[in-house]
């Protein structure tokens, strides 16, 4: 360990749905410097006062690097003010950001004056290389490090993107070291999947270029995954040592490689572990019924699927890629019903159109399509997002939203206003073409839908609660009367109804 070097603080800011989720992003960075530099973890999800802990570390005079992972939404409420405080209170500190927000909103981040460097994508090599150059005072070498964004002489420099690395050959994540800061049992929460649910990343990237997705500018249609054997070894370790009984795979696209998924399913077949992962309908539709049955027998309980819309023209507008269509979504919902896996389908409503009338028509069309999917397979979980633009430069959709007058905030602090926080949660898009009446239509339908079909992931809504919610929502749902559903909202508020897209699966 390089004891002469100043220490590094890796910070995971608090997020609304990540209290029990192992902070894989800072673990990945920690693995790259483990045994080479002295570093500590601070997890904002598990600290009552994260700033106090961070401040106490820096007051020792031993720390030089403040390194938060920065995702859109709630994490910004700590990442932004803490980074600013660090720079003001401890001059000379170098602030290094990673995460989707930093990579996609690099202009406002670097213009803030208190973010020095951004890791643009995986930091397995970039982070250690940057620290090496800074510690050796070889600033001229930094421009040759891949996956970096920074300012030099007032100009923003984006270095070349690095090829995704072989995931099996990367250093093991320092779980034992994390355990010295936060007992790993803290991260094994109760969900509808199991009593001890473990969060895990088995791959990086996605091989598609959907124009509404924040991953696309970072990975550019690239994907790399750990082998089935490596995944099984990691999971076996946690089962043997921590008695896990469920897994959430937080890959952007867990099911990309059928061969890998089938091999993994065979390995885990008799382990008694339930699991959930994210995939694409057109990818999984290429799996045979026998493949899907194997997944179910191996513990796959639910799959998150980006349906987005049942309208084929809008799918083209989204640059969805692949062969997905409205008809395929219908057919796949039935296939999932047949094999007993719950499809959790997300829909993105409120894309730009030529007129306000056409935007509303598209919204109503998708509402009816969602009801059609629920009729085909009532077990289908529905997640509704309002379209929130991402800076996928070069795409027709991004140009369309710029032409419509949409602009991202220029100042970093603006992102922590309530309206922009909800923007990042895809609940308040701030897009000029989506009018209040349209937003009300979508949100009221969502309320009625969640009343008539409460999510299976909220196991507090059972028995008479579920019966009463369905009774109150039934006429509205069947007749299409969505306006002012106050009676449903009141019960959902009293019973603290959870929306998994905002709060995750974990229950207190």
120-152 residue pLDDT tens: 999 999 999 999 999 999 988 999 999 999 999
pLDDT > 80? residue 359: yes
Determine the Cα–Cα distance for residues 99 and 24; give it in Å rounded to an integer.
11
Query: C-alpha 154: how far from its chain's center?
Result: 32
Q: Which of 104, 332, 57 is nearest to 220 (CA)?
A: 104
pLDDT > 60? residue 507: no
pLDDT confidence band for 505 (50 / 70 / 90): low
Determine the Cα–Cα distance for residues 152 and 371; give it in Å rounded to an integer.
53
Determine the Cα–Cα distance for residues 288 and 262; give it in Å rounded to an integer.
11
The token pair that represents 321 in the structure block? 């890629």
The token pair that represents 285 in the structure block? 């539709």
State residue 278's pLDDT score: 96
| pTM greater than the 0.95 cutoff | no
pLDDT > 70? residue 432: yes
State residue 396's pLDDT score: 80
10 Å CB burial of residue 83 (0-12, 13-18, 19+) is: buried
pLDDT > 60? residue 16: yes
State residue 11's pLDDT score: 98
Determine the Cα–Cα distance for residues 363 and 33; give it in Å rounded to an integer.
48
pLDDT tens digit sequence for 299-352: 999 999 999 999 999 998 888 766 899 999 999 999 999 999 999 999 999 999
State residue 423's pLDDT score: 67
The token pair that represents 395 in the structure block? 């795409």
State residue 2's pLDDT score: 46
Q: 444: helix, coil or strand?
A: helix
Share of the chain above pLDDT 90, in %: 75
Provide the 8-state DSSP code for 49. Answer: S
Lowest mean pLDDT among 58-67, 418-427, 483-492: 418-427
State residue 422's pLDDT score: 66
pLDDT confidence band for 500 (50 / 70 / 90): confident
Report the Cα–Cα distance between both ends of the chain, in Å, rounded: 39
The number of CA neighbours under 13 Å toward the Cβ of 376 is 23
Lowest mean pLDDT among 13-22, 72-81, 192-201, 489-498: 13-22
pLDDT confidence band for 18 (50 / 70 / 90): low
State residue 1's pLDDT score: 42
Mean pLDDT, residues 57-66: 97
- Sorted by sequence, the CB contacts under 8 Å of residue 252 that are 6+ apart come out as 203, 204, 205, 206, 215, 219, 223, 278
Block residue for tokens 């991953």: 215
Q: Looking only at Cα atoms, what is the longest distance across the chain?
A: 71
Alpha-carbon dihedral sign for residues 490, 491, 495, 500:
negative
Q: Which of 331, 305, 307 is nearest to 318 (CA)?
A: 307
The token pair that represents 5 in the structure block? 């070097």
pLDDT > 80? residue 204: yes
Contact assessment for residue 120 and residue 100, using Cβ atoms and an 8 Å cutoff: no
pLDDT > 90? residue 173: yes
Tallying the residues shown for the chain, one arrives at 508
Mean pLDDT, residues 367-391: 94
Integer CA distances (angstroms), 131 to 3, 13, 70, 101, 330, in order: 14, 21, 19, 21, 51
State residue 429's pLDDT score: 63
State residue 3's pLDDT score: 42
pLDDT tens digit sequence for 448-481: 999 999 988 887 788 899 999 999 999 999 999 9
* Average predicted confidence (pLDDT) for the chain: 91
State residue 9's pLDDT score: 98
Q: Specify which residues 274 forms β-bridges with.
A: 246
Integer CA distances (angstroms), 419 to 74, 352, 439, in order: 12, 20, 14
State residue 94's pLDDT score: 98
Higher pLDDT, 507 or 205: 205
């Amino acid at each position: 360990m390089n004891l002469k070097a100043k220490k590094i603080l890796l910070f995971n800011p608090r997020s609304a749905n990540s209290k029990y989720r192992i902070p894989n992003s800072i673990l990945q960075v920690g693995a790259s410097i483990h045994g080479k530099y002295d570093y500590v973890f601070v997890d904002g999800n598990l600290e009552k006062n994260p700033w106090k802990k961070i401040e106490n570390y820096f007051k020792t005079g031993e720390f030089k690097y403040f390194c938060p992972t920065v995702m859109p939404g709630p994490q910004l409420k700590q990442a932004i003010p803490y980074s600013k405080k660090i720079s003001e209170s401890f001059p000379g500190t170098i602030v290094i950001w990673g995460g989707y927000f930093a990579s996609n909103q690099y202009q406002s981040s670097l213009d803030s004056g208190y973010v020095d460097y951004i890791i643009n994508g995986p930091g397995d090599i970039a982070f250690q290389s940057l620290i090496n150059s800074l510690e050796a005072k070889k600033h001229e070498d930094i421009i040759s490090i891949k996956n970096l964004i920074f300012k030099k002489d007032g100009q923003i420099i984006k270095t070349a993107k690095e090829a995704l690395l072989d995931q099996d050959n990367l250093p093991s994540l320092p779980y034992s070291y994390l355990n010295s800061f936060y007992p790993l049992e803290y991260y094994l929460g109760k969900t509808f999947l199991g009593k001890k649910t473990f969060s895990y990343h088995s791959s990086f990237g996605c091989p598609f270029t959907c124009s509404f997705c924040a991953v696309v500018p970072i990975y550019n249609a690239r994907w790399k995954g750990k082998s089935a054997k490596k995944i099984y070894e990691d999971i076996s370790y946690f089962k043997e040592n921590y008695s896990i009984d469920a897994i959430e795979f937080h890959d952007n696209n867990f099911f990309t490689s059928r061969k890998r998924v089938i091999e993994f399913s065979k390995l885990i077949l008799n382990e008694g572990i339930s699991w959930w992962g994210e995939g694409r309908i057109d990818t999984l539709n290429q799996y045979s019924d026998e493949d899907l049955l194997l997944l179910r027998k191996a513990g796959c309980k639910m799959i998150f699927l980006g349906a987005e819309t049942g309208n084929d023209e809008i799918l083209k507008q989204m640059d969805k890629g692949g062969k997905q269509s409205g008809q395929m979504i219908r057919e796949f919902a039935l296939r999932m019903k047949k094999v007993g896996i719950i499809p959790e389908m997300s829909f993105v409503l409120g894309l730009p159109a030529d007129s306000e009338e056409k935007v509303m028509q598209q919204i109503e069309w998708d509402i009816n399509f969602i009801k059609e999917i629920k009729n085909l397979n009532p077990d289908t979980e529905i997640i509704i997002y309002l379209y929130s633009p991402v800076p996928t430069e070069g795409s027709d959709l991004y140009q369309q939203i710029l032409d419509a007058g949409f602009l991202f905030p220029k100042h970093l602090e603006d992102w922590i206003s309530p309206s922009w926080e909800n923007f990042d949660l895809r609940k308040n898009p701030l897009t000029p073409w989506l009018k209040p009446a349209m937003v009300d239509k979508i949100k009221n339908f969502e309320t009625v839908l969640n009343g008539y079909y409460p999510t299976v992931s909220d196991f507090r809504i059972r028995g008479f609660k579920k019966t009463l919610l369905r009774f109150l929502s039934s006429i509205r749902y069947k007749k299409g009367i969505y306006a002012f559903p106050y009676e449903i909202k009141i019960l959902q508020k009293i019973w603290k109804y959870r929306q998994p897209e905002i709060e995750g699966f974990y229950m207190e």
